[in-house]
Structure 1
Amino acid sequence: MAAEMPHMAAEIPQELESYRHTIDNLDAALIHILAERFRCTQQVGLLKARQKLPASDPGREERQITRLRELAAESGLDPVFAEKFLKFIVAEVIRHHEEIAADHEENGSAS
């Protein structure tokens, strides 16, 4: 039995390293996905500014929260966490849209 302990101890760090490698890859994918999402929402913000639409759309936000909570539950992810995560992202998007609208208003009134 004692002879097996060093062998098991050597395997655990390798297994841990493998999990960490996967986590690192997933973290990188999340960052790339978020960057792409924000590139898209930047374009939405520009369109909203040109059309003089509000930065926030509470009805859509509620529908998205409901949809993502359901997806989270189906995927085995805590729906409360998914909602908090989405609300954080949406708050950032709204902040960006408000900045874009303000910039558009400044530049539009100067021409």
Structure 2
Amino acid sequence: MDDQIPEELEGYREAIDALDLELIDNLAKRFDIVHRVGELKRREGLSVVQAKRAEEVKDRAAALGEARGLDPQFVRSLYEMMIDHAHVLEHEIVDET
């Protein structure tokens, strides 16, 4: 097998790397907002876990993903992980004294 990487493959990899950077940037922005939500929930005495809202977000994401040709269960799983992590972060903020 040849160790030479075809130029076309290298181009695809560069495109994926650029998209990965955008994904990470957007995740950072999302979790910055999660931090603000945690502060608001602490200030207002709101529950961290709001199950109805979490389900709405996952349903919406799955539908958006499916409309774009993605496996909706895959998208739902990604959002479950993000929401679970958001809850951990919000609990840390709400539980601060």
**TM-score scaled by length of structure 2:** 0.93
Please tell me whether residue 101 in structure 1 is matched to residue 90 in structure 2: no
Tell me, in whole angstroms, the C-alpha distance in 2 between the residues paired with 1:90 and 1:58: 10
In structure 2, the partner of 1:28 is 21
Which has the higher Rg, Structure 1 or Structure 2? 1
Tell me, in whole angstroms, the C-alpha distance in 1 between the residues paired with 2:72 and 2:39: 31
Give me the identity figure in percent: 36
Q: Deviations over 1:42-93 (max 9, x none)?
A: 0000000000101111001111111111111100011011000000000000
**TM-score scaled by length of structure 1:** 0.82
More helix by share: 1
Deviating 4+ runs (over 6 angstroms) = none
| Structure 1 unaligned spans of 5+ | 1-9, 107-111
Instruction: Give the length in aligned residue pairs.
Output: 94
| Structure 2 unaligned spans of 5+ | none
In structure 2, the partner of 1:62 is 55
